[in-house]
Amino acid sequence: MNAQISFVEGQFSLIHIPLSLYAAVLQPILRVLLPHGGPAHTNEPEGLLSGLSTDNKHGFLNISVTPLECSIVCHTTWAQSVFAPLLSRLPREDSNQCHISKDTYNVFSVNSAGMEAGQRVMDLTAPLAMAAIPIFFITTYYTDFILVPSKDRQTVGAALLDRGFEFSENDSAYVQAPPHPPHSRISSSSTPPPTPPPSNVAELQSRTFSQLKKRNVVPFIEPDLHLVQCSGKEILGGDSSYRTGPSNSHSSPNSFLSSIDPKFYLGLVSALITRPRFLSLTLATDDAPSLLLDKSLLRLFGNSIVGDADGDLVPIFLDLETLPAESTGIVCGVAGRLCEVQGEGGELSYLSTARAGAVILTREGSVRALDVLLPLLEK
């Protein structure tokens, strides 16, 4: 695998919203999704442009609506300035069901080539799992993203170096180095794990399924839910066919909204308003918007997306609400076991949300995977 792992600037928060309260947070979701900028002297997040590039583009943002929850990963400034005030105004019994992570997270983007999707998930998460670092993993149309607690950032670097990566000053990224025997040099300023890290991947898998079984985690598939992975269509420079009105001297010619077909955002807002069965949107500075969504919603986007609209992906859900936030090895353990079953050429991706996980497979692959997972987790 030829992988490059880069740090995304900023600190991020993870937000859990139960589906019963989704309507209450829809307006702030749309506000964060479409930041409009503003005067620099205002106290609003848009004015401060925290977590945004000069063209109002998010360094990283993920909004996921699944059958289990609504989950948001956004810059900590937005979490505290947009979501926290709204949640504090909810009735206590409602606000107590919502959660903004106390710990902040760092985001790493992963660009890789020459490795099939399932093995890529495994190879990227294994070094961190073996170092007992809790992670969230998000596969998108273009890039993989790994979220780790900010307090573990130093340990992440050491774990990657220990597993054959080298830090490139030119790229400001960790790059895959030629194979060499690993040697332990991992040190951490954070609290050491209560039990020693696993010594190999087989032990990691065994621990993972033992933990899931102990917490009564049962994988399941939602009937008739089929997904597609796609991206917003970028507008070529100078293409004026998408401009719907006269130019505005006060608008920014570099606004991120001007680089994507506007029908994509109309479709996205329409989909979010319906409280979709499944929608996961990821925005990142260097990529066009990436979307994993219920196939039945494609009609809302018309020709504003690119990707395999005829694809047929099926998610297997894992409700991880009963697991401690510091649990480790879940992504790597589950993906590793399924990679063994899928064999070469198997398509597998993973979506972590605040309190759940989803393994994304082909329709045929999901049937085989469920046949493997259920016996491992039955009591």
Instruction: Give the separation between CA 234 and CA 193, rounded to whole angstroms.
Output: 45
Complete domains list, the chain, with CATH: 1-179+196-240+256-379 (3.30.2130.10)
Looking at residue 68, what is its pLDDT? 98
Contact 350, 137 (CB under 8 A): yes
Looking at residue 276, what is its pLDDT? 97
Looking at residue 270, what is its pLDDT? 96
Quick one: tokens of 298? 């494609």
Contact 134, 325 (CB under 8 A): yes
Looking at residue 38, what is its pLDDT? 45
Rounded to the nearest angstrom, the gap between the alpha carbon of residue 48 and the centroid of all alpha carbons in its chain is 25
> Averaged in consecutive runs of 10 residues, what is the pLDDT profile of the chain (379 residues)?
82 97 96 66 52 75 98 95 95 97 94 70 84 92 92 88 77 69 45 66 90 95 96 70 48 59 92 97 92 96 92 95 90 88 75 96 92 89
CA of 193: how far to CAs of 133, 190, 197, 309, 328, in Å?
A: 9, 9, 8, 44, 10
Looking at residue 54, what is its pLDDT? 63
Compute φ and ψ for 7, nearest 5 degrees.
-85, 130
Instruction: Give the separation between CA 368 and CA 372, rounded to whole angstroms.
Output: 6
Question: In 3-state terms, what secondary structure has residue 183?
Answer: coil
